[in-house]
Structure formats: structure tokens, C-alpha cells
Structure 1
Amino acid sequence: MTNNQKIKVITFSAMMTTFIIVLGFFPAIPLGFIPVPIVLQNMGVMMSGGLLGPKYGTISVGLFLLLAFIGLPILTGGNGGAASFMGPTGGYLIAWLFTPLLIGLLLRRIQALHLNSWWWELIVVVVAGIIFVDVAGALWLSWQSHLPLFTALSSNLVFIPGDFIKAVLSVMITRRLRRSLGFDDMFILSKF
């Protein structure tokens, strides 16, 4: 990767962190039966792995989570601080750190197999951005809230339709941005 490409990717990493923060300004939708609301910030997390690859996507989300952990009110609803990571949503937040890594590595793999279609990319985002996050979040929720694991897992079913829409939008936007920004070649070259 050339120096100009590196500067471009680092700049877009910072912009992606900012985008995830901005998505937090949209109000959460509380569900009532579990203490985890529906939020838009997970769409930014999905996009970071698809746009920036495993290394810079993870750095972008890691920076966002670090800022939230130290107390900046950048999580949906103006939340922040270590208590957010210890509460019912903590498992989802921790899973967000690994989501761009998984998405980026799986996308690199399907590109190497020449399966670079919209559908394959959507499958990757659904597996790493929805299923992985929901299972990790449910495990944490079960432990933290003393819910039976089956109840915690089944309560996540309410997130699936909205998360699927966010995954579709994420794939559409990132594919368009990668083409227009010239990230297709750099995406393959960015090694983790």
C-alpha cells in the first residue's frame, strides 16, 4: 500500500468512527421485554468491515468503543462509560469489536475464491454482523441478567428483520463506496 493510500484509509477510518457516532444520535427503540433496544450504530459497524477491511475496520470500531468506554456519551441515547460495557448491552458492544475483523476476513476469502457477488457479501455480513453479534450479545445478556439462555437467544429474534434491512443497506452502500473511492484493490491488499 502506498503512502497516499495509507493516508486515505486512515482518514476514512476516522470518518467511519465519526459515522458510527452520528448513527448514535438516532433514538433507540426500546423493546420492553428485554433491556436491549434497537439501534442504528450496528449498521456502521457492519459497514466498517466491508469498507475498510479487517485491520482498519477493527481500528475504527475499536476507537469508537474506546471513546465510549472512557465515558464519552456516544452510544445511542447519549450513553457511555464502563457501565455500558458491564450492563445488558455489553456483549453486543464487545462483539462489535470483532465484527469488522470477521467481515473483512470473510470478504477477503470470498474475493480470493472469485465469489465477489452482492449475495455472497450479504451472506458474510449476515453471518458476522447479525448472527455472531446476536449470539454473543445473548450469551452476555443471559449471564448478566440471569435469563435462561434460550430466552435470551429467542428474544434476539425481534432484532433480525431490522438487522437484515441494515445488512442489505450496509452491503449496498459499502460496495458503491469501495468502487467510487477506489478501495476495491486496497481492500485485498490491506493485510491484518
Structure 2
Amino acid sequence: MKILTTKELILSAIFAAMTCVLALIAIPLPFTPVPITLHVMGVAMAGATLGKKLGFISQGVYMLLGAIGLPVFSGGRGGIGVILGPTGGYIIGFVIGAFVIGFLVENLSRYANGKKSEFFILFFSMIVGLAVIYIIGALQLKAVLGLTTPQAIASGVTPFIASDFVKVSLGAFVAYYVRNGLKKSNLMPSNNKVAA
């Protein structure tokens, strides 16, 4: 197994920290245990910027920090109980979603032939990653609370689609410029094959 370089460790830590900060901005909703947060934007940017390997690692570090009790989950919560609770599937989904986004961006980037097409690849990859997060999150919500599939979708997916669409759009825009800045500064992770 290849050891991470110092640059890769630092970039992974930065994106894990960014997700921690974005998680603290949480708006509870009265009809669901799932709050509105900015998590998704951090997860999407981690996968798109760092690629599948470091995106996965950055969000894995985020989940691990919360699992050991640090208050990095939504609303300043922490502990393994959160991961095992109704909303824990979304946290697990962040790790897998970042990997999926990074995988898609790395493999679709060969088709990019300009700013618009690269933005579309980022956006499309983030939407697929968001779907992965929704599926894993809704499955655990359903299992823990004993909901039906329609109930899990109604409380764990539908209320967030519009706001998450905005977050993903903004995330794709920011990730485009961050990636290009890293590329020009020779800081792009070596495992990330995304063209800039």
C-alpha cells in the first residue's frame, strides 16, 4: 500500500476540516430528524478536488473524528451513537459519495474540452454522489426508525433536493477554480487525473 505524501495528507486534512466546519451550520426541521446542513457541499468538493482516494480518506477522517466523540457532526454532535442512529447513514454516505464523485471526475475528465464541459462533468459527478448519499442515508433512516420506503424518502430525501441542488451547483463552481489553482501551483494530488 502506497504511503500518502505530506501534500496528500495536508489536502485530506484540509477537506476533512472543511466538512467539520460546514457540519456546524445545521437547520433542524420539525418533520424529520435530518437537518439541513452544508455537509454535501464539502463532501462534493472533496471528491471532485482530491479524487476518489483522497476524497474517501478526507471524509473517512471526518467520520472517524466524529466517531471518537469530537463534536463535528451536524449540530455539534459526536460519538458512535450518531453513526448508528437515524442520520448515521448520511455520514457513511459522505465517505462513499466522495469516492464515487472522485471516481467519476477522474474517469470522465478525458472528455472535457473546455470550461463548460468540465463544469458539467463536475456537476454530473456530484449529482451522482448526492444520489449515493441519499440512498445510504434513507436506507438507514428506514431501518432505524422502522419507516416504509416512501416515508424514508419523504423525510430523508425530498425536503433536501432543492437546497442540495444549489449546494452542488456552488460546489462544482468552487471546485473548478480550486482544482485549477492547485494545478497551477503544482499542488494537485498525484492520484487525481482530473484535467484542468
* CA–CA distance in structure 2, aligned partners of residues 185 and 57 of structure 1: 11
Partner of 2:86: 88
Say if 2:44 and 2:126, in contact at 8 Å, map to a contact too.
Answer: yes
* CA–CA distance in structure 2, aligned partners of residues 145 and 20 of structure 1: 26
Say if 2:52 and 2:103, in contact at 8 Å, map to a contact too.
Answer: yes
Deviation string, structure 1 residues 38-79 (Cα, Å, up to 9, x no partner): 111221111110111111111111011001001111112110
- After superposition, residues 53-132 of structure 1 pair within 5 angstroms as 53-114=51-112, 116-128=117-129, 130-132=130-132
Gaps of 5+ in 2: none
Partner of 1:142: 142
RMSD, aligned CA = 2.0
Aligned: 1:163 with 2:164: yes
Shift, 1:10, TM fit: 2.2
Q: More displaced, 49-58 or 105-114?
A: 105-114
Say if 2:123 and 2:169, in contact at 8 Å, map to a contact too.
Answer: yes
Deviation string, structure 1 residues 71-105 (Cα, Å, up to 9, x no partner): 11111211000110111101111111111110011
Which residue identity lines up with residue 126 of structure 1 in the other structure? Answer: I
Gaps of 5+ in 1: none
Partner of 2:133: 133
Shift, 1:112, TM fit: 3.0
Higher share of residues assigned strand: 2
Shift, 1:137, TM fit: 0.8
SS of 1:37's partner is strand
Partner of 2:6: 7
* CA–CA distance in structure 2, aligned partners of residues 174 and 16 of structure 1: 12
* CA–CA distance in structure 1, aligned partners of residues 74 and 21 of structure 2: 9
Shift, 1:181, TM fit: 1.3
* CA–CA distance in structure 1, aligned partners of residues 188 and 77 of structure 2: 35
Relative to the length of structure 2, the TM-score reads 0.87
Percent of aligned pairs with the same amino acid: 34
* CA–CA distance in structure 1, aligned partners of residues 91 and 57 of structure 2: 14
Which residue identity lines up with residue 50 of structure 2 in the other structure? Answer: L
Say if 2:8 and 2:189, in contact at 8 Å, map to a contact too.
Answer: no
Shift, 1:113, TM fit: 3.7
Relative to the length of structure 1, the TM-score reads 0.88
- After superposition, residues 8-47 of structure 1 pair within 5 angstroms as 8-26=7-25, 28-47=26-45
Shift, 1:178, TM fit: 0.7
The correspondence for 1:188, drawn from 178, 190, 193, is: 193
* CA–CA distance in structure 2, aligned partners of residues 181 and 109 of structure 1: 19
